[in-house]
């Protein structure tokens, strides 16, 4: 069975500081991995995805993520956060026509 | 290009009633998936349709059902509503082909409140 763990429920960072959101997955084969962002009352927007190839993937809004097979991780990073990055972030693993999501990490930005 | 459209955006129903939610995928997309999002359970997969056929189903009771029409629009129905069905229901569409190597585009969701 596939599963995703996001160990941090809530993270607070200062505007301009760097960010890393953690994601660990369990999947029996080569995983398809995704990071989505959700603003309050909105749907999900894809930030980036990993299917194969280069393990460092670039996404929108200045985000990147690194796939580490040995650690079963796909952590999301951003060098300098902006107040508009405040939202909930979901890591997901794909397979068998469905996405399995983590429980999400709520990001708060302080001035 | 229009995005995924879900209607209605908000809905209030009474326990025991039934409800139908609608999803219009992006033009040309043939795969539609439904997810339930609640504070307690997070995002959970309901079912996925491709070319009018249900290809996969999540672990939900039979009260939850869906269908897809020839124009790829999809509906999901929940019968005999319970308080615990209150949630944000999200629809996602994909173009075609292998489901996982194409991006899923999500709608804004339908917020269902059961009272």
Q: What is the pLDDT of residue B35?
A: 96
Residue count of chain B, please give it: 115
Give the count of Cβ contacts less than 8 A between chain A and B. Answer: 58
Minimal Cβ distance to B106: which of A44, A94, A95: A44
**Own/partner pairs, B39-47, CB within 8 angstroms, 24+ separation:** B42/A101, B42/A102, B42/A103, B42/A104, B43/A90, B43/A92, B43/A99, B43/A101, B43/A104, B43/B90, B44/A101, B45/A98, B45/A99, B45/A100, B46/B76, B46/B89, B47/B76
CA dihedral for A60, A66, A69, A73, sign (positive or negative): negative
| Site of tokens 């359970």 | B41
Phi, psi dihedral angles at A62 (to 5 degrees): 80, 10
Q: What is the pLDDT of residue B23?
A: 98
**Tens-place pLDDT, residues A88-97:** 999 999 865 7
B108 to chain A, any CB pair closer than 8 A? The answer is yes
Q: Could you tell me the pLDDT band of residue B99, with boundaries at 50, 70 and 90?
A: low
How far is the alpha carbon of A4 from chain B, nearest alpha carbon, in Å?
11
Structure tokens given for A99: 């996405």
Summarize the confidence of residues A76-80 as an average pLDDT.
98
Q: Is the distance from CB of A95 to CB of A35 less than 8 angstroms?
A: no
How far is the alpha carbon of A21 from chain B, nearest alpha carbon, in Å?
17
- For A96, B23, B39, B42, B83, the CA distances from B36, given in Å and listed in that order, are 18, 14, 10, 8, 14
- For A5, A72, A93, B113, the CA distances from A69, given in Å and listed in that order, are 15, 5, 13, 41
**Tens-place pLDDT, residues B38-97:** 998 899 999 999 989 998 899 999 999 999 999 999 999 999 999 999 999 999 998 865
Do residue A45 and residue B107 have CB atoms under 8 angstroms apart?
no
Calculate what percentage of chain A has a pLDDT beyond 70.
97
């Amino acid at each position: 069975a596939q599963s995703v763990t996001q160990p941090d429920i809530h993270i607070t960072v200062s505007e301009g500081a760097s960010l890393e959101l953690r994601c660990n997955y369990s999947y029996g084969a080569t995983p398809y991995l995704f990071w989505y962002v959700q603003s309050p009352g909105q749907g999900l927007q894809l930030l980036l995805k990993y299917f194969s190839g280069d393990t460092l993937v670039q996404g929108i809004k200045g985000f990147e993520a690194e796939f580490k097979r040995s650690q079963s991780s796909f952590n999301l990073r951003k060098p300098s956060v902006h107040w508009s990055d405040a939202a909930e972030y979901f890591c997901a693993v794909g397979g068998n026509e469905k996405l399995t999501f983590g429980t999400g990490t709520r990001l708060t930005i302080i001035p | 290009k229009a995005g995924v459209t879900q209607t209605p955006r908000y809905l209030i129903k009474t326990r025991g009633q039934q409800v139908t939610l609608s999803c219009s995928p992006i033009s040309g997309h043939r795969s539609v998936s439904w997810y339930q999002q609640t504070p307690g359970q997070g995002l959970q997969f309901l079912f996925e349709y491709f070319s009018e056929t249900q290809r996969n189903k999540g672990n939900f009771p039979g009260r939850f059902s869906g269908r897809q029409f020839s124009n790829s629009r999809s509906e999901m129905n929940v019968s005999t509503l319970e308080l615990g069905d209150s949630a944000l229901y999200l629809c996602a569409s994909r173009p075609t082909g292998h489901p996982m190597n194409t991006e899923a585009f999500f709608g804004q969701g339908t917020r269902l409140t059961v009272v």
